[in-house]
Structure 1
């Protein structure tokens, strides 16, 4: 879904209103506007995309707490030979063998999801260049089937082995699952917004995701306390369905196929040369473009790719692993751990919604300091990496005071991913952005691939060793953040496109 292969819905219509306009631009859509197309302007379509991202993240955050509790309960009953329906004391389920089994299930599932994402991103990306909505609906279907399969296994675990839950990610081969759904949503944002309006839309999308992170875990914990783990799971299934169907209220936004001969449009390649050659061509454009190869020879680009690889796994430390760790080490329930995650979610909203924008503005326009965009983002990226390193080291500390402090400091690292992408984009020309971002996505996937099983091993080993070693998985993540900080200190702004233009304008 290359930016240069898209036609903006406003191209050829300079008077069309963007991001705040109320005028319809239906003549630019790939399909006629239907009565159920409620959102038909850039503003309303962008709003729908933000809502969809909120729903997708909420569905995952709401199901995380009850799924962890149910899997723990299943292994607990198997461990003690309890196959009855009577409740079992959660404290009995904190045995090392049980917790290790739970960690491995989630760790392997995480690795499988990453593998599937790496396999499907190119073929479905080619298809999505032709039409956004069918790919999105297909991806939503794959995610829905994955969730239904997982619920089936958790409900009938006495009949089928709970380990079969690992087959769930395989269903994401249908459309690419949530990974591809999010990719398509951001492609739609790019379709309908002018370049100067995309940043603010991405900001609101990120804010919507962080609100879901803040709301989801405590909502799930409360529903478990009032009803049962199946209540938030049912809510997650409903939210997943809504997230998948919401796209029907917007028109198709992909550009019309080029009609001129010799076009590079992916779909024309599919029609003329077949799927295999079209996908191979996409790989060639990303990895073998001679212009891009020269860019990859830049030391700072390579260092930023290394930093992206190191920081990609950092988000895994505040998922099911954290729920297990907090519950096991400090003798709390899984539901209590859900409330702890809400603290980080709330702090992340403050960081992303207020602190980072204010710092960015201060660093570029203050009378005391005025940094170019690249140096500003590099400074913030280094601070974020340092916060990730220190936050995770504290998270693995011996008391809840260390853990709470770690959560607070860790929230300061929330902007590391977008900052690294911003830095990378500033080192390439605009026509190379989509290719370099594709490479960034792939190296992030490669970096995340082994992290699930490794953290499961680290968690099991930490329980066995005891003492300070209990925080071993978080010490490892803290090490990744610290190593990323070291790498970023060797990055410089040599060849920065943004700084070059700034200097040119000043002279």
Structure 2
């Protein structure tokens, strides 16, 4: 960035093109379980019935109720699903860049290096640390308890990391806070896995749809909220300049407390 802002932008676009190209190698899974169906004819008949057009308001209401009934039946699903509504608040990269640059009186280029350090740690975490921890916990406690325990631990790391980011008086402590924060970055992956285990197999697609809806609502609310808190924090000055991250710490702490109250079968 010190040489030219176009250099990282062009490199970033090149990496995105490579990532999009990898989509061509993803295998088709539409009929992956077709051979496992005991009665293909019955399965196809059932699917054709489900595709009939809705003719009355009553049938539409029935289908809507049928689509959300699996959420109402289990309060744990609703509680965990609601966490995805604040997902955007944790994806505070742009605010973090401005916060580092403003509070510690440094350039955006240097601030980007700090954020990139966290991104590198998250990559290392997802490739090595989390798979190893998940494998160990699944063998010891089973898949459901493993996801729940790792979700609790991840929430604790993220909340502590955000709290330290908001209070760090210098860049050295800020870097340490980013390390702590990155250690919990698998939280929503574990929550998604835990949610999947709490619903029946034929509800998984609907569940992911609801996760997407909550995530989108979180983006609509979270972006202006973080910007407003950042502006308010700058007006207050001092410790309050980290107001967005103090809020993030409080929200994730509430998620962690909620997870501690959730019980599942072994």
TM over 0.5: same fold? Answer: yes
CA distance in 2, matches of 1:436, 1:298: 13
**Quick check: 2:70–2:199 contact (8 Å CA) kept in 1?**
no
Distance 1:297 1:463, change over 3 A: same
Mark the structure with the bigger radius of gyration. Answer: 1
Tell me the equivalent position of 1:441.
Answer: 212
* 1:128-152, Cα deviation, whole Å (9 max, x unpaired): xxxxxxxxxxxxxxxxxxxxxxxxx
5+ residue gaps, structure 2: 32-39
CA distance in 2, matches of 1:340, 1:468: 20
Tell me the equivalent position of 1:382.
Answer: 152
| Secondary structure of 1:426 counterpart | helix
CA distance in 1, matches of 2:81, 2:124: 28
Distance 1:469 1:430, change over 3 A: same
Structure 1 residue 315 and structure 2 residue 90: aligned? yes
Tell me the equivalent position of 2:66.
Answer: 289
The offset of 1:284, in angstroms, is: 7.6
CA distance in 1, matches of 2:128, 2:103: 34
Aligned residue runs from structure 1 range 73-92, under 5 A: none
CA distance in 1, matches of 2:236, 2:147: 40
* 1:329-381, Cα deviation, whole Å (9 max, x unpaired): 1111111011111211222123222222222232233xxxx312211111110
**Quick check: 1:393–1:475 contact (8 Å CA) kept in 2?**
yes
**Quick check: 1:314–1:481 contact (8 Å CA) kept in 2?**
no
| Secondary structure of 1:303 counterpart | helix
Structure 1 residue 230 and structure 2 residue 6: aligned? yes
Tell me the equivalent position of 2:120.
Answer: 346
464, 471, 481: which one pairs with 2:235?
A: 464
Structure 1 residue 396 and structure 2 residue 173: aligned? no
CA distance in 2, matches of 1:349, 1:245: 20
| Secondary structure of 2:198 counterpart | coil
The offset of 1:475, in angstroms, is: 0.6
CA distance in 1, matches of 2:223, 2:165: 18
Distance 1:343 1:432, change over 3 A: same
251, 258, 262: which one pairs with 1:487?
A: 258
Distance 1:377 1:238, change over 3 A: closer
The offset of 1:246, in angstroms, is: 5.7
**Quick check: 1:381–1:420 contact (8 Å CA) kept in 2?**
yes
Tell me the equivalent position of 1:409.
Answer: 180
The offset of 1:421, in angstroms, is: 0.8
CA distance in 2, matches of 1:473, 1:251: 38
**Quick check: 2:71–2:78 contact (8 Å CA) kept in 1?**
no
Structure 1 residue 450 and structure 2 residue 226: aligned? no
Tell me the equivalent position of 2:28.
Answer: 253
**Quick check: 2:230–2:244 contact (8 Å CA) kept in 1?**
yes
* 1:142-191, Cα deviation, whole Å (9 max, x unpaired): xxxxxxxxxxxxxxxxxxxxxxxxxxxxxxxxxxxxxxxxxxxxxxxxxx
CA distance in 1, matches of 2:63, 2:221: 24
Deviating 4+ runs (over 3 angstroms): 234-247, 249-256, 258-266, 283-287
CA distance in 1, matches of 2:72, 2:13: 43
Tell me the equivalent position of 2:200.
Answer: 429
Distance 1:350 1:390, change over 3 A: same
**Quick check: 2:165–2:178 contact (8 Å CA) kept in 1?**
yes
The offset of 1:309, in angstroms, is: 2.4
CA distance in 1, matches of 2:182, 2:194: 21
The offset of 1:252, in angstroms, is: 8.4
Tell me the equivalent position of 2:142.
Answer: 372
CA distance in 1, matches of 2:20, 2:154: 33
**Quick check: 2:156–2:256 contact (8 Å CA) kept in 1?**
yes
The offset of 1:287, in angstroms, is: 4.6
Relative to its length, the structure with more helix (as a share) is 2
Distance 1:330 1:251, change over 3 A: closer
